[in-house]
């Protein structure tokens, strides 16, 4: 049983790594659609989101089967539950990329972003995509040090997000309220995407070390 359990757990990890690639690609394309006012790319992200939802459902099924058939206990049990949480976060990251793509589609053929904040979103997009690709590597390699580094990247996203507010709050913001509303929501989508990437990385640290960083020791059972 131990052998079968670990083979199935590896398959589940592969599935989660695959979801990380899906949401990294989605955010990369959504950001390009936003910056380059590319409707076809936005439509692609929107129609591809169903695949992320399906992948999440498959991960859950796989995790449920593992729990039902192997009845793991202690750390093994927590590992499977961490995977279920990670699948939920990854699906949410897909939703956030979808929201970005929908914003690009809604305003098409007008650009959503005023030039003043284009670079900020390009950088947030780069960071978000990098975070999701790191998550894939962390799931594959179980590299705890890399997982911890993710928090630094997330800080960079938070810095840009805060900077956006100072740009918006400037009395001389000349782009009107509608653009400010779009920038506010989009900024939040990018920031939440990064938060969820960190949350997946933290769950992976737990899977490897048995300890959840900053969330108690989580090893009572």
Residues in 96-155 at the binding interface with its own copies, rule: CB under 8 A: none
The answer to whether 31 and 187 have CB atoms below 8 angstroms apart is: no
4 vs 74 by CB, closer to its own copies? 74
Q: Which two tokens stand for residue 114?
A: 């005023």
Minimum CB–partner distance for residue 195 and its own copies (Å): 11
Q: Which of 4, 7, 50, 74 binds its own copies (CB under 8 A)?
A: 74
Q: Which of 8, 38, 88, 143 binds its own copies (CB under 8 A)?
A: 88
63 vs 129 by CB, closer to its own copies? 63
Q: Which long-range contacts (CB under 8 A, 24 or more apart) does 135-142 make?
A: 135/20, 135/90, 135/197, 135/200, 135/201, 135/204, 136/17, 136/20, 136/21, 136/24, 138/201, 138/204, 139/13, 139/16, 139/17, 139/20, 139/86, 139/200, 139/204, 140/13, 140/17, 142/204, 142/207, 142/208
Minimum CB–partner distance for residue 69 and its own copies (Å): 8
| Residue 194 found at the interface with its own copies (CB under 8 A) | no
| Residue 57 found at the interface with its own copies (CB under 8 A) | yes
Q: What is the DSSP letter of 171?
A: T
User: What does the binding site for its own copies look like in residue numbers (CB under 8 A)?
Assistant: 57, 61, 64-65, 67-68, 71, 73-74, 77-78, 81, 84-85, 88, 165, 168-169, 173, 177-178, 180-181, 184-185, 188, 215-216, 220-221
């Amino acid at each position: 049983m131990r052998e079968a359990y670990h083979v199935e757990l590896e398959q589940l990890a592969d599935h989660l790594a695959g979801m990380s690639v899906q949401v990294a690609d989605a955010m990369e394309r959504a950001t390009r659609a936003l910056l380059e006012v590319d409707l076809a790319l936005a439509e692609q992200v929107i129609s591809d989101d169903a695949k992320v939802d399906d992948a999440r459902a498959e991960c859950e099924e796989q995790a449920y089967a593992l729990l039902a058939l192997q009845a793991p206990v202690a750390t093994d049990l927590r590992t499977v539950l961490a995977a279920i949480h990670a699948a939920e976060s990854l699906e949410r990251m897909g939703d956030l990329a979808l929201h970005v793509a929908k914003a690009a589609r809604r305003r098409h053929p007008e650009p959503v972003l005023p030039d003043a904040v284009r670079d900020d979103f390009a950088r947030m997009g780069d960071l978000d995509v990098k975070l999701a690709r790191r998550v894939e590597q962390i799931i594959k390699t179980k590299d705890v040090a890399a997982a911890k580094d993710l928090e630094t990247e997330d800080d960079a996203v938070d810095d840009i997000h805060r900077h956006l507010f100072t740009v918006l709050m400037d009395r001389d913001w000349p782009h009107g309220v509608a653009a400010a509303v779009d920038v506010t929501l989009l900024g939040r989508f990018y920031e939440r995407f990064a938060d969820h990437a960190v949350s997946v990385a933290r769950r992976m640290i737990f899977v490897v070390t048995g300890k959840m960083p900053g969330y108690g020791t989580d090893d009572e059972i």
